[in-house]
Amino acid sequence: MFLKELQLFNFKNHESARFVFSDKINAITGNNGAGKTNVLDAIYMLANAKSYYNSIDQQIIQFDKDFFTVTGKFEETNPFDLIINFGKDTKKTIKKNGKVFKRIIDHIGSIQTVFITPNDISLIYEGSEERRKFLDFTISQLDNIYLKNLVEYRKVIDQRNSFLKTNQNHFIDEVLLESYNFKLIPISRAIYQTRKHFLEEFIPFFNKAYKEISGSSENCNIKYKSKLEEIDIDVLLQQNLRNDISAQRTTDGIHKDDLEFLINEIPIRKFGSQGQIKTFVISLKIAQYEYLKSKTGNNPLLLLDDIFEKIDETRSNELMKMVCSDRFGQIFVSDTNAERVRNHFLPHGIDCKFIEI
């Protein structure tokens, strides 16, 4: 499967644009602010029903406009069209061959994507939420039950937190609070077990990618940090009851899970060099690609946003060697310098379609 054509209306700084793509490598070049990254973000939205960069859909609509539309034409055994519409006064809708999905989550997972950006460094330096997003996004592209469990978990946590906040300085009905716990317990266990199983399968893909890119024999590892490793969720909720009432929120649970990134058993966040950190992050994304491919038998869409300005020549060359191999399918690259992109791909004998914005 590959994306043959993309059309944008009022999407960020693209009032009206149409792009026709190659089934292998597509280089989108132009000056800063021209909208290169926005093209990649639109492709990501077609697959995932949301922007990679903007959590609020209304922020995507071009200034002074009332809606945006993203349309994609995909080629495979059975070609199909996707259309995403969103307006200031209307809900977001997704149509496949003219038929509207009743629920947006029913579309998630039908098209796998991997997005490598300079902002991925946040996986190392930011809080646990960024690492959970990586975890949840990867699993959700393959497991619709997991995605539904996540949605339900967040819904119940919001309800429980609202109940705790509403009853500030009042008597807490612990029977009603227990009803929220009753809903959380089985979902928490299911999410925890799925995350744990995923990491057991994922880490070998990551180790392979890190060694390929770095050429190093360093011992890398990813550790799953969850309170459920030590204590079951029902006991945890009971132990935290007074803390939750005092804080007016659910203070612990799988929404606090984290990943610890290690090199030679030392946390990379504290002691890793810039080179190690960049290699670690890119390796996570390449492993994500290889893992998704191994599970589906299909090549995800690979989006590379402005990475040549952020990583050194050696790592760029190793990455290009990898993506130019038969292991990868359709690739989209953004860069300010078309000649730089040519210089990276030409040594590998790969033709690249250039689109200037």
Q: Read off the pTM.
A: 0.93
Task: Give the pLDDT of residue 168.
Answer: 67
Given CATH 1.20.1050.90, say whether it is the number of domain 123-297: yes
Domain with CATH 1.20.1050.90 in the chain: 123-297
Sheet holding 266-267, edge to edge: 220-225, 258-263, 266-267
Task: Give the pLDDT of residue 169.
Answer: 62
Per-residue confidence in pLDDT tens, the chain, 357 aa:
899 999 999 999 999 999 999 999 999 999 988 999 999 999 999 999 999 999 899 999 999 899 999 999 999 888 999 999 999 889 999 999 999 999 999 999 999 999 999 889 999 999 999 999 999 999 999 999 999 999 999 999 999 999 998 876 667 788 888 999 999 999 999 999 999 999 999 999 999 999 988 887 789 999 999 999 999 999 999 999 989 988 999 999 999 999 999 999 999 998 888 888 988 999 999 999 999 999 999 999 999 998 776 677 777 777 777 877 888 999 999 999 888 888 878 777 777 899 999
Residues whose CB falls within 8 Å of the CB of residue 68, separated by 6 or more in sequence, listed in order: 8, 9, 10, 11, 12, 60, 61, 62, 85, 86
Domain with CATH 3.40.50.300 in the chain: 1-112+299-357
Task: Give the pLDDT of residue 180.
Answer: 93
Half-sphere exposure of residue 142, counting CA atoms within 13 Å on the CB side? 19
**CATH number given to 1-112+299-357:** 3.40.50.300
Q: What is residue 42's DSSP assignment?
A: H
Tokens of 182: 């009753």
| Cα→Cα distances 19→4, 174, 249, Å | 8, 58, 47
User: Would you say 19 and 345 are in contact if contact means Cβ atoms under 8 Å apart?
Assistant: no
Question: What spatial distance separates the first Cα and last Cα of the chain, rounded to whole Å?
Answer: 25
Task: Give the pLDDT of residue 130.
Answer: 95
Tokens of 275: 């080179």
